[in-house]
Chains A and B, each alone.
Chain A
């Protein structure tokens, strides 16, 4: 064949038409059947992706489920997709009140009613807006304070039981090129804000109708983060952030605030040379705490197959208890969101994971929650960053965040 401009344009034109036609026909699912699009964020543990694809393939309900794995900023992607798109039909997320106000998600109370009491209250609260449940919790994550037992012994430091002891321990453990504590490259602003509020007996919101940290003790608690940042005992600028156990494993820090999911990696690297603790209480009037986070399986209200999507959610996240158990504990350390399954999980029967399960039961708190908006979160996060990093007045900064959160509650509830 002789190549000239006309034959080139003809071929590329035909090719483009072919690609377009192929794209149009690629997502229709089985002929005559229903196709459901299900989105997950990218889990870090090996095997999770294969497992959820297997669950989808094994669904006997008549619909073909296509799993999408979404690396990157998944939460923003979901919020964008929910605005006007019918895709995904099923997705994992934590509900926000604005989604409910915009009719972007459907309530799932009719699915969960029979087993509602089997879910931990804090985990279910993450998916509940004004009494209605919008997500079926899939698994529970928590974060705890990991510490290297040998380094604490060498420094003559006891595992800290109060925030002041934590500050003191971090300072004493900072020596020989090892920092005392790693709580994220932002100096703990992102992950310790909640634990510091809880340590003082406060919270982000009170009954979802009042600001929960409109209290002088909030400034006292948040001010402790300034001490940690100012005395040089925090590791800042680690190659991997708080959610990765690298800083503790590589000997960059003696204590690290990170997720329970890291237990297998830490155990493999350190053996028994570590322990875990909840975040300590501020003082005798405070309490220890761990954050609770749980993605729930949700249904897009704009889906063309809402009922089929709900049926799939019920099948996978309520009926298939063995799959739920495998999803939570088969690929890393997470807690099953149903309390009856925690007792069945052999991996959670002893050791740090068992301790963490107790912490979640006794000291678990929801981070923010469905009524805690992006605007409120930015205001509080900015305030804590200024206190911790710039030494700004904790009272004035907390007051600013309180005012923004009050304005948001007024917008939402009048």
Chain B
């Protein structure tokens, strides 16, 4: 019986583990190895350079600037996603009719490809010509067309980048919050009403929000990690065949151009940057988890 169970276990889990080892752990390990070598245009380098690549990346202006870009993006996207997905969850959860319909409507964008959404945002909604949707609306008020992705002062491109990601991910976090809302015992609300709590903000502040703490912390952690990993919408909205502007260049886009850029590939420095970024994400996640008391009872 045990042997049969073990066989079934390996039959179903084995391919997944194999895929994980080949496509995740091996590249991560190889990348860490490359980071200690001069690995220009090769994945089998021979020239050991120690920590030189790390030293370069930690003093490299564009890489450090890309971390600054990420910080701006995270400052926008994390709180906005948190507040709006929670608001959506509360609104949809209170619906008496068509709740499943609205849940699906808000969740559906999550199934959309980031690339497709980025191209729609770039070429239809926020194109700089007079017939782009945003410019058409502005035109009703007599305003001139705005170059949304090319205007740096003020940095209007953030509107394009942030709204694209909000549209894509709000539904996912809304579902997490709805699941958490539905797990709050009804008796808590009844007890609060009996104790005289006013429906609305008071109940939300003292009953709902504390009960959502575990989910809220998870949403914040996932959001921040996702912000660090921003690539698709940035690359497809801001980049073109000739390159990528230095403003709004997040870490992964910079590392992509360093490691896999056309013409020359510096896999040593790119890998060092990837290791640094992974360590930063791990550190920030651990700190955030500790500060927000992730995984501990309320």
Report which A residues bind B (CB closer than 8 A): 73, 75-76, 78-80, 82-84, 96, 98-99, 101-102, 104, 177, 184-187, 189-191, 235-239, 241, 243, 252, 373-375, 377-378, 381-382, 385-386, 389-391
* Tally of B interface residues using CB under 8 Å: 36
B44 to A, closest residue via Cβ: A84
Whether A238 touches B128, Cβ cut-off 8 Å, given contacts A99-B41, A378-B62, A390-B152, is: yes
A80 to B, closest residue via Cβ: B260
Main secondary structure of the interface of B (DSSP, over half): loop
Report yes or no: A190 in contact with B242, Cβ–Cβ below 8 A: yes
* CB-contacts of B75-127 with A (<8 A): 123, 126-127
* CB-contacts of B257-293 with A (<8 A): 257, 260-266
Report yes or no: B153 in contact with A390, Cβ–Cβ below 8 A: yes
Shortest distance from the beta carbon of B198 to any chain A beta carbon, whole Å: 49
Q: Does B295 contact A (CB under 8 A)?
A: no
Shortest distance from the beta carbon of A20 to any chain B beta carbon, whole Å: 14
B65 to A, closest residue via Cβ: A382
Report yes or no: B129 in contact with A252, Cβ–Cβ below 8 A: yes
Shortest distance from the beta carbon of A413 to any chain B beta carbon, whole Å: 15
Whether A186 touches B240, Cβ cut-off 8 Å, given contacts A382-B246, A389-B150, is: yes
Question: Which of A80, A236, A373 has most B Cβ within 10 Å?
Answer: A236
Q: Does B35 contact A (CB under 8 A)?
A: no
Report yes or no: B150 in contact with A79, Cβ–Cβ below 8 A: no
Q: Does B223 contact A (CB under 8 A)?
A: no
Contact of B243 (CB < 8 Å), options: A76, A186, A239: A186
Residue numbers in A under 8 Å from B257 (CB-CB): 374, 378
Residue numbers in B under 8 Å from A82 (CB-CB): 41
Report yes or no: A236 in contact with B149, Cβ–Cβ below 8 A: yes
Residue numbers in A under 8 Å from B123 (CB-CB): 239
Residue numbers in A under 8 Å from B241 (CB-CB): 190, 241, 243
Whether A236 touches B266, Cβ cut-off 8 Å, given contacts A190-B242, A385-B247, A389-B245, is: no
Q: Does B42 contact A (CB under 8 A)?
A: yes
Q: Does B147 contact A (CB under 8 A)?
A: yes
Report yes or no: A102 in contact with B153, Cβ–Cβ below 8 A: no
Expressed in whole angstroms, the Cα–Cα distance for A96 and B264 within the complex equals: 8
Report yes or no: A375 in contact with B264, Cβ–Cβ below 8 A: yes
Q: Does B213 contact A (CB under 8 A)?
A: no
Expressed in whole angstroms, the Cα–Cα distance for A375 and B266 within the complex equals: 9
A selection of 22 A-B contacts at a CB cut-off of 8 Å is: A79-B260, A79-B263, A83-B265, A84-B42, A99-B41, A102-B41, A102-B42, A104-B41, A185-B150, A189-B243, A190-B242, A236-B151, A241-B240, A243-B241, A374-B257, A378-B62, A381-B243, A385-B247, A389-B152, A389-B245, A390-B152, A390-B153
A229 to B, closest residue via Cβ: B150
A247 to B, closest residue via Cβ: B129
Residue numbers in B under 8 Å from A102 (CB-CB): 40-42
B152 to A, closest residue via Cβ: A389
Residue numbers in A under 8 Å from B243 (CB-CB): 186, 189-190, 377-378, 381
Report which B residues bind A (CB closer than 8 A): 40-44, 62, 123, 126-130, 132, 145, 147-153, 240-243, 245-247, 257, 260-266
Report yes or no: B265 in contact with A187, Cβ–Cβ below 8 A: no
Residue numbers in B under 8 Å from A98 (CB-CB): 40-41, 264
Residue numbers in A under 8 Å from B145 (CB-CB): 177
Report yes or no: A374 in contact with B264, Cβ–Cβ below 8 A: yes
Shortest distance from the beta carbon of B231 to any chain A beta carbon, whole Å: 14
Contact of A237 (CB < 8 Å), options: B40, B132, B247, B266: B132
Residue numbers in A under 8 Å from B245 (CB-CB): 186, 189, 382, 385, 389
Known contacts A83-B43, A84-B43; 8 further A-B pairs (Cβ under 8 A): A76-B262, A236-B147, A236-B149, A238-B127, A238-B128, A375-B266, A382-B246, A389-B247
Residue numbers in B under 8 Å from A381 (CB-CB): 242-243
Shortest distance from the beta carbon of A257 to any chain B beta carbon, whole Å: 12
Expressed in whole angstroms, the Cα–Cα distance for A185 and B260 within the complex equals: 23
B146 to A, closest residue via Cβ: A237
Expressed in whole angstroms, the Cα–Cα distance for A99 and B265 within the complex equals: 10
Report yes or no: B127 in contact with A237, Cβ–Cβ below 8 A: yes
Report yes or no: B153 in contact with A239, Cβ–Cβ below 8 A: no
Shortest distance from the beta carbon of A95 to any chain B beta carbon, whole Å: 10
Residue numbers in A under 8 Å from B247 (CB-CB): 385, 389-390
Question: Which of B42, B145, B149, B150 has most A Cβ within 10 Å?
Answer: B150
Residue numbers in B under 8 Å from A377 (CB-CB): 243, 263
Report yes or no: A187 in contact with B246, Cβ–Cβ below 8 A: no
Expressed in whole angstroms, the Cα–Cα distance for A82 and B149 within the complex equals: 35
Whether A235 touches B240, Cβ cut-off 8 Å, given contacts A84-B43, A375-B266, A390-B247, is: no
Residue numbers in A under 8 Å from B262 (CB-CB): 73, 75-76, 78-79, 374
Shortest distance from the beta carbon of A85 to any chain B beta carbon, whole Å: 11
Expressed in whole angstroms, the Cα–Cα distance for A98 and B41 within the complex equals: 7
Report yes or no: B263 in contact with A374, Cβ–Cβ below 8 A: yes
Expressed in whole angstroms, the Cα–Cα distance for A144 and B42 within the complex equals: 37
Whether A191 touches B130, Cβ cut-off 8 Å, given contacts A75-B262, A373-B263, is: no
A232 to B, closest residue via Cβ: B144
A400 to B, closest residue via Cβ: B61
Expressed in whole angstroms, the Cα–Cα distance for A189 and B153 within the complex equals: 17
Report yes or no: A382 in contact with B62, Cβ–Cβ below 8 A: yes
Expressed in whole angstroms, the Cα–Cα distance for A177 and B129 within the complex equals: 9
Contact of B147 (CB < 8 Å), options: A84, A99, A101, A237: A237
Residue numbers in B under 8 Å from A235 (CB-CB): 128-129
Question: Which of A177, A236, A237, A386 has most B Cβ within 10 Å?
Answer: A237
Report yes or no: A373 in contact with B260, Cβ–Cβ below 8 A: no
